[in-house]
Amino acid sequence: MDSRQQAYLQAMGIDIWVQRDADIQVNAIPLVTAANPQADPVPSINPSSSDDLSQLDWSALQARVSACTLCELHQGRTQTVFGVGNPRAELLIIGEAPGAEEDRQGEPFVGRAGQLLNAMLKAIRLQRQEVYIANILKCRPPNNRDPKPEEAALCSQYLVRQIELIQPKLILALGRIAAQRLLQTDMNLGKMRGQLHRYTLTDTPLIVTYHPADLLRTPSDKRKAWQDLIFAQRILGDPAKAV
């Protein structure tokens, strides 16, 4: 580990780290099926506004999102938060939903959580502009509440098209809610971590880690997050492990 990487680990709140290979399961496992048999049904989508998403290029998709009125969240937004970064990135990072500052700036993961995410990326020698960062929802829920199932279902069509266009090698899901929604499961975060899943709609490898906001509240989990980042780095370095 070089001095620069050590500095980034210190920025994450980790002074010393010793790799333990046994902590991470590198071999791929089958996608975890939904633990809740009463999974939230996907509501119908207005065909006039969504049936041609598969034909949209990046700029057209972004324009469609900015004008979206499919759910009630458009009524209270300042602007949509489409995403930020490299649209040809190998690593796609997906969070839950925009917060108040993200709604104002139109960019995901700004403020303290965004600063910590930047430090996490730098710890595995990645810059923010090298990855792509998006959320399950493109609009801020009132009072930062959890996304409603119908909101997530409607907005997921945009995320699916983003994934199709980006074609990332790996998705990194940040936090329990994003991971549960992407994997359609009610498993807790601890059980989802340390395993290689697949986002079935695009057959993209996916791993799960903590949301930066949770790490700010519980700094003791930063070491576990670092293990997840090393796992991601291994998958990106050797795509054969994701087969």
Residues 68-109: pLDDT tens digits? 999 999 999 999 999 999 999 999 999 999 999 999 999 999
Share of the chain above pLDDT 90, in %: 75
Asked whether residue 39 is domain-assigned, the answer is no
More confident residue, 85 or 31: 85
Asked whether residue 29 is domain-assigned, the answer is no
Which neighbouring-strand residues pair with 95?
Answer: 135
**pLDDT mean over 165-172:** 98
In this prediction the pTM is: 0.82
Phi and psi angles of residue 50, each rounded to the nearest 5 degrees, phi first: -135, -10
Q: Which helix (H) or strand (E) holds 118?
A: helix 111-123
> Which whole-number Å values give the CA distances from 62 to 15, 70, 158, in the listed order?
41, 15, 9
**pLDDT mean over 33-61:** 58
- The C-alpha torsion from 168 through 153 and 215 to 36, rounded to 10°, is -110
β-pair type (170-174, 84-85): unpaired
Asked whether residue 28 is domain-assigned, the answer is no
Q: Which range marks the domain in which residue 90 is found? A: 50-238
Asked whether residue 70 is domain-assigned, the answer is yes
Which neighbouring-strand residues pair with 209?
Answer: 174
pLDDT at 22: 41
Q: Give the dihedral sign, CA 219/223/224/226.
A: positive
The CATH number for 115's domain is 3.40.470.10
Asked whether residue 73 is domain-assigned, the answer is yes
Domain count for the chain? 1
Asked whether residue 20 is domain-assigned, the answer is no
Asked whether residue 72 is domain-assigned, the answer is yes
Identify whether the C-beta of residue 124 lies closer than 8 Å to the C-beta of residue 228: no
Asked whether residue 22 is domain-assigned, the answer is no
* DSSP summary character for residue 205: E
pLDDT band, residue 3 (cuts 50/70/90) = low
pLDDT at 38: 37
Residues 149-167: pLDDT tens digits? 999 999 999 999 999 999 9
pLDDT at 238: 75
**How far is Cα 217 from Cα 30, in angstroms, rounded to an integer?**
32
